[in-house]
Chain A
């Protein structure tokens, strides 16, 4: 056993956090002479109370992994040839700034786009840079992750009730969420509360880690969430299970809704969802009759594609008609923090001129999470809460449209892409198109820990400081009324820098000097928490002495504030904001993007229903495939298929199989399981093989098992409200892969 003397002289214990997902679990890091000698989960941290997941445990391996990028790299040979020249940060920033300035002069600042990943960056800094630079074309794959939900719910109730008051709840609906593989602290709380009587409903096509612990598991047809939500509305309204007092006092549009959902009976939904009418009723009743209750957000609904917006809408109405809003035990409308400086306030959105806002790619079609919808919602929330949601995330260019613009020059040329903390080939939809765009774009810069397939195609790769090397403020995309803080354990190793420094330094080179007053990230953070009035001298002092700020929980804020942040001041079951943007004010039924009812010919060719995107411990999106300690546990991708379906296809457990949609095919190994319905297939996400040849065209086999080869970003498959694309409810076929055809060309 590795024995570390933690009592020795000169050890400092730093209150850092794990940076491998945005839970940001608290970690105590023992540092001596600038070197980390030990770390452990922080038992006093409210998120993880000492626990750490697989990823958390490999922090030190990640920190100094031989494959990490440690110095700024400039491409030497052909793009993708993997020949690099090590240069200084100063040179890199000078050259990148010069190139961006040249593109701005020639094509306009909107020709520079930025792509992001999960919320593990200080993307208010990116937004600040982009606003000052004058481009509206920043984006993330946030469309697949909560952001559309946030905006639909804010349109209806004036904020997103993401803070669940679980301790007093009697029922939780986990709708397309699997905390058992993704958010460990939440799962722990659910298990504890379930043992004390909490009802747990899991809506998921798969018998997940979480479904295995549920009181009720509803294995719906992938992509049919909207039909289920509409039928639940029907059951709750037509069985008289509503909270009529709450509706009477706080909602408008109940009559319209009642009429609207009359048609959506459980019998109507049964053939669409592949559930029985009784299953549908049982779920609706369990949620409506065990009050207070919660509907926990899950990414599944964000990833439905075309029916997504309507499904979020219908789901949001369930809370309203059952009164499960802002009361003890329900989903709370906390609003943004009035006390600390929010992300939005750091973004300088006012600096982006109106004419540039109008150029945001995708904002003509998908209005809710682009400038048209965002401006309207920000106006309402500012009036009511005094603050707006974070624009980075909530107001972004439509990612598939940006990749298409790179390829087609429509609506205008996009010449530069700055990529930070994402590997778009694996994480954005329709990977073949994304890869083509990355190969095509004139100027590509990647900020990353690793030489990902995307980094390999870049002109510059910049080394980014990761877990333990950076301070962190955790505040739910800048939208929570609380915050948790963590400090750096050590200064970044080698020549790594934080992404904040990258955007700031690039801004300085481009003449944004006056807008970047903070020299360090800690300085910036300090300015954000100063209004809290703790009287600290430094950010680190706040972390050491306070660590987090949780305002006293207030229920029924709407009573005191006189309503909700909507045009009518009420919860708008019939949404005037959505109507104003040109969308249906009530959730209309839209079938799954590909289905056997509307397109029987396609279903004949692709007879199985596909769901993609579910998370798999120990990976996170497309990360950690280099970490042997993790990879050893799951070294190959496994898709799930029911044994009955597999038998028909002569597929045995452990066989390599092809999974193919209209857009392409990938191979994974077959896991035969009774935990998935016959006729349904699930593929693991994120897979690439960093151990292979990373040069173009092999690029670490980044298309071979990559589930996003299968997903659809066609305009007609995207949600008209948000533009989110289709990861679930697609049609596919599966067949055995033989040795001779195991390899797919990139």
Chain B
């Protein structure tokens, strides 16, 4: 109850994580299909892509104050959340249908045109699902850490990293028909992790020397404030740098560990980013006012409750 205005919590971060990962998986599967043809990604991974988006959607629904009314989020064409909801729905459909081509017992498994169409659908919707949280957050004018186009890149890269890592893990469990096709994936993910590292350093640098004091203040929190430990050691070192190195080693076990750490890093990043949105651009005197309100556990709040 510290700040009366309570915003998004961990469930939305988890939604962003799963949806981003799923989007990345669809995107990778779709591209692989177009460039290399069918069977280069694990069927498990193809299904997981759609499932992850669905899991993300579930968390999104749980985040709502009135989950049973969730269908209403499709109602405002001007709202980016509505756009996201539709895209996720389509992505889940496209992903499932596409993945079903991997189950050879189904009658449509050799309808190539439909498969290509679905792969295209996966690419487009996967890309949007992977990117749109960045757009959503970046448009928040009064959340100094989010505001700006940079978030789009950070989310896209993280989605690609986690999507790629998830494909690596899926393939480790259930290899693709043509296991050699995507043998370069660990290298690609490592490369993306490197890019991610550079983008994060750049993002914070720009924010700290940013246009407004409030942006700088919000960004400093990541290096010196209460976010710094989780960010530097958790995300940058364990979630980015370490998997980058591990993914360059040969050996399925080491690579799988790297992929797993990359997933953890992605999750941690979503959590940190979402929570950083608590810092609004405070209005004059507002921080002091809110700091002196009760936390919600005070005795007087519980006394005289007759109901």
Query: In their complex, do chains A and B touch, with some C-beta pair under 8 Å?
Result: yes
Q: Point out residues on A near B: beta carbons under 8 Å.
A: 65-67, 625-626, 628, 631-636, 654, 689-692
For residue A545, give the distance in angstroms from its CB to the closest CB of chain B: 40
A66 & B306 in contact (Cβ 8 Å cutoff): yes
List of 3 A-B pairs having minimum Cβ-Cβ separation, nearest first:
A691-B303, A691-B300, A691-B299
CB nearest neighbor in A for B288: A653
Assess A692 versus B299: contact at CB under 8 Å? Given A632-B293, A635-B294.
Answer: yes
Does chain A have a CB within 8 A of B6?
A: no
B306 & A635 in contact (Cβ 8 Å cutoff): no
CB nearest neighbor in A for B291: A654
A631 & B304 in contact (Cβ 8 Å cutoff): no
CB nearest neighbor in A for B294: A635
In the complex the two chains form, what is the Cα distance from A635 to B301 in whole Å? 10
In the complex the two chains form, what is the Cα distance from A586 to B294 in whole Å? 52
B303 & A690 in contact (Cβ 8 Å cutoff): yes
Give the residues in chain B near A635, CB-CB below 8 Å.
293-294, 298, 300
In the complex the two chains form, what is the Cα distance from A414 to B34 in whole Å? 101
For residue B306, give the distance in angstroms from its CB to the closest CB of chain A: 4
Further 11 A-B residue pairs, CB within 8 A, beyond A66-B306, A625-B300, A691-B304: A65-B304, A66-B304, A67-B303, A631-B300, A632-B293, A634-B292, A635-B300, A636-B292, A689-B299, A690-B300, A692-B299
- 29 example contacts (A-B, Cβ-Cβ < 8 A) are as follows A65-B304, A66-B304, A66-B305, A66-B306, A67-B303, A625-B300, A626-B300, A626-B303, A628-B300, A628-B301, A628-B304, A631-B300, A632-B293, A632-B301, A634-B292, A635-B293, A635-B294, A635-B298, A635-B300, A636-B292, A654-B292, A689-B299, A689-B300, A690-B300, A690-B303, A691-B300, A691-B303, A691-B304, A692-B299
Question: Looking at the complex, which one of B292, B294, B302, B304 makes contact with A67 (CB distance below 8 Å)?
Answer: B304
Give the residues in chain A near B298, CB-CB below 8 Å.
635
Give the residues in chain B near A66, CB-CB below 8 Å.
304-306
Scan B136-162; emit 1 where CB is below 8 A from any A CB, else 0. 000000000000000000000000000
CB nearest neighbor in A for B300: A691
In the complex the two chains form, what is the Cα distance from A692 to B299 in whole Å? 7
For residue B228, give the distance in angstroms from its CB to the closest CB of chain A: 22
Give the residues in chain A near B300, CB-CB below 8 Å.
625-626, 628, 631, 635, 689-691
For residue B177, give the distance in angstroms from its CB to the closest CB of chain A: 63
CB nearest neighbor in B for A634: B292
Most buried by B among A628, A634, A654: A628
CB nearest neighbor in A for B298: A635
In the complex the two chains form, what is the Cα distance from A67 to B304 in whole Å? 7
In the complex the two chains form, what is the Cα distance from A625 to B301 in whole Å? 11
In the complex the two chains form, what is the Cα distance from A663 to B301 in whole Å? 32
For residue B294, give the distance in angstroms from its CB to the closest CB of chain A: 5
Scan B276-307; emit 1 where CB is below 8 A from any A CB, else 0. 00000000000000011110001111111110
Give the residues in chain B near A691, CB-CB below 8 Å.
299-300, 302-304
In the complex the two chains form, what is the Cα distance from A464 to B306 in whole Å? 21
For residue B291, give the distance in angstroms from its CB to the closest CB of chain A: 8
In the complex the two chains form, what is the Cα distance from A631 to B304 in whole Å? 13
For residue A617, give the distance in angstroms from its CB to the closest CB of chain B: 14
For residue A312, give the distance in angstroms from its CB to the closest CB of chain B: 37
In the complex the two chains form, what is the Cα distance from A635 to B302 in whole Å? 13
Give the residues in chain A near B302, CB-CB below 8 Å.
691
Give the residues in chain B near A636, CB-CB below 8 Å.
292
Give the residues in chain B near A634, CB-CB below 8 Å.
292
For residue B255, give the distance in angstroms from its CB to the closest CB of chain A: 51
Assess A626 versus B304: contact at CB under 8 Å? Given A632-B293, A632-B294, A635-B294.
Answer: yes
Most buried by A among B291, B299, B304, B306: B304
For residue A218, give the distance in angstroms from its CB to the closest CB of chain B: 26
In the complex the two chains form, what is the Cα distance from A626 to B304 in whole Å? 8
In the complex the two chains form, what is the Cα distance from A692 to B300 in whole Å? 8
Give the residues in chain A near B306, CB-CB below 8 Å.
66
For residue B304, give the distance in angstroms from its CB to the closest CB of chain A: 5
For residue B286, give the distance in angstroms from its CB to the closest CB of chain A: 14
Give the residues in chain A near B304, CB-CB below 8 Å.
65-67, 626, 628, 691
In the complex the two chains form, what is the Cα distance from A636 to B295 in whole Å? 12
Give the residues in chain B near A692, CB-CB below 8 Å.
299
Give the residues in chain B near A690, CB-CB below 8 Å.
300, 303
Give the residues in chain B near A689, CB-CB below 8 Å.
299-300
In the complex the two chains form, what is the Cα distance from A689 to B304 in whole Å? 13
For residue A656, give the distance in angstroms from its CB to the closest CB of chain B: 14
In the complex the two chains form, what is the Cα distance from A91 to B306 in whole Å? 29
Give the residues in chain A near B305, CB-CB below 8 Å.
66
In the complex the two chains form, what is the Cα distance from A212 to B303 in whole Å? 36
In the complex the two chains form, what is the Cα distance from A654 to B298 in whole Å? 16
Give the residues in chain A near B299, CB-CB below 8 Å.
689, 691-692
In the complex the two chains form, what is the Cα distance from A689 to B292 in whole Å? 17
In the complex the two chains form, what is the Cα distance from A635 to B289 in whole Å? 12
CB nearest neighbor in B for A671: B292
Scan B93-128; emit 1 where CB is below 8 A from any A CB, else 0. 000000000000000000000000000000000000
Most buried by A among B292, B301, B305, B306: B292
Give the residues in chain B near A633, CB-CB below 8 Å.
293
For residue A704, give the distance in angstroms from its CB to the closest CB of chain B: 13
For residue B60, give the distance in angstroms from its CB to the closest CB of chain A: 30
CB nearest neighbor in A for B289: A633
Most buried by A among B298, B305, B306: B298
In the complex the two chains form, what is the Cα distance from A654 to B301 in whole Å? 20
In the complex the two chains form, what is the Cα distance from A66 to B303 in whole Å? 10
Give the residues in chain A near B291, CB-CB below 8 Å.
654
In the complex the two chains form, what is the Cα distance from A631 to B285 in whole Å? 20
Give the residues in chain A near B301, CB-CB below 8 Å.
628, 632
CB nearest neighbor in A for B301: A628
In the complex the two chains form, what is the Cα distance from A65 to B306 in whole Å? 10
Give the residues in chain A near B293, CB-CB below 8 Å.
632-633, 635
For residue A643, give the distance in angstroms from its CB to the closest CB of chain B: 14
For residue A453, give the distance in angstroms from its CB to the closest CB of chain B: 15
Interface residues of B in 146-182 (CB under 8 A from A): none
In the complex the two chains form, what is the Cα distance from A634 to B292 in whole Å? 8
For residue B266, give the distance in angstroms from its CB to the closest CB of chain A: 37
Most buried by A among B291, B300, B301, B302: B300
CB nearest neighbor in A for B307: A66
Give the residues in chain B near A67, CB-CB below 8 Å.
303-304
In the complex the two chains form, what is the Cα distance from A67 to B291 in whole Å? 29
In the complex the two chains form, what is the Cα distance from A626 to B293 in whole Å? 16
In the complex the two chains form, what is the Cα distance from A388 to B292 in whole Å? 49
For residue B83, give the distance in angstroms from its CB to the closest CB of chain A: 32
